Structure 1
């Protein structure tokens, strides 16, 4: 009996060691892929010269609520940064009433051309996180997810509707780098005293959404339509982002927290809640 226990223990140890090695190799490969995506993203953003400071006259052609917001959010002589890096913590819900799973993420944005890489670790299982990387680079979008870095969960790219959905996301998340909202690649049209519609164009990809401003001038909500995966199909669905608890990072007023939800026929389905841990600007 003792011998069988020894053999069984050795077998379990071998399996665990092999699994640990596979997980380690998978994570290393994941990080290399993320590094390549970031290199592509950064290369396009740093190709041109730095932007000059935003002149107050540039804001005068914008809808009134946008002018009020940007004058409040941006410091004097603000410069549109080429690259913005946001460190997040929060929770994610994969289906309505499915329970929330904690996540940490690093998201790198570019302003011109618009783009981002969102690299997250979601603790859906006690010991095995799901690694998720969403990206929009050079007019193309991709979604990649792997359990423990080795087992594929999602792998999608190359679709125009995916690119439009990702660019819509970039537009809604511009609340964390609002200097980009002062001009190209974003254009504006007035809707009402507290609502303005923004459109961002990146080559053949275009996305629009409405920004809602509260009575104090802050951004409170972003509404649009995005494609949502439903039974293997991408279905155009109402989408809402909410912004909370404004703070200042690097002199710029941004939301400390955000929440994202799908607006379904049966009701609102929040699936992402995030808190800003750190924001860094580059050039």
Structure 2
């Protein structure tokens, strides 16, 4: 009996290892193809250097932000590569926080990014996730072990808009992408807030940025963003919050953040993360 149990356990371990290896290979191939699409859509970044003298006419808190986080004449950013670790809330109603690690590629012009995450549902059973915006298309793909599909949404309209919102909100990590010469249009709200609008072809998004007393981005908020609840997409107010600003490549960028849905019952955080590494490619 013991021998049969040991044989069965060995077979299960072999099957699990084979599935993990196959899933990893398939996921990596999909990541490569997705990022090639993002790279193929690149456009030249112009101008190639930051000109703080060209900020006249922007809302006062936006001017203060750029003068705080950037330096005159520094290179504009063409892309960023970053790694995160943190916790992701897998529950739609009740909290179910799971640890994650991720690698993210961002291209600033044409806007594009791929967040490639591994969420530890339980030991040995990771969920792989692509949350991306590629050549005007939104992508949300999740698969257990990289093999068993849990979510697979691609396309324009609502999903593309939601992903372009994410690109715009996370530009606190690649701040030259927020300059008006990069397609962002700023509108004054008050002494500490301004609205930013970014269009990519037919996809256009507007977010409200709140700046703190130090001139840094504190929160970014959307009136509505598509929230997945079961098999439905529910328009829900959405907010990102940033803190722990540090100097990286001559810029002040936040290393920690939290993202929440703002429901009728209150804020429902679903992402809390820390940047563990970040590298930039300058415009050429």
* TM norm structure 2: 0.94
How far has the Cα of 1:62 moved from its partner?
A: 1.3
State the alpha-carbon separation in 2 of the partners of residues 102 and 276 from structure 1: 14
1:92 paired with 2:114, answer: no
State the alpha-carbon separation in 1 of the partners of residues 176 and 63 from structure 2: 12
SS of 1:105 mapped into structure 2? strand
Deviation string for 1:102-135 (max 9, x for gaps)? Answer: 1111111111111100001111212211111111
Alignment of 1:1-283 (within 5 A): 4-45=1-42, 47-48=43-44, 51-95=47-91, 96-183=93-180, 184-224=182-222, 225-283=224-282
How far has the Cα of 1:159 moved from its partner?
A: 4.2
State the alpha-carbon separation in 2 of the partners of residues 50 and 15 from structure 1: 56
* TM norm structure 1: 0.94
On the 8 A contact 2:112/2:135 being kept in 1, the answer is yes
How far has the Cα of 1:13 moved from its partner?
A: 1.4
SS of 1:38 mapped into structure 2? helix
Structure 1 residue ranges without an equivalent (≥5): none
Superposed structure 1 runs of 4+ greater than 6 Å apart: none
How far has the Cα of 1:167 moved from its partner?
A: 0.5
How far has the Cα of 1:80 moved from its partner?
A: 2.1
Greater shift after overlay, 79-88 or 91-100? Answer: 91-100
State the alpha-carbon separation in 1 of the partners of residues 52 and 7 from structure 2: 71
CA RMSD of aligned residues (A): 1.4
- Aligned residue pairs, count: 279
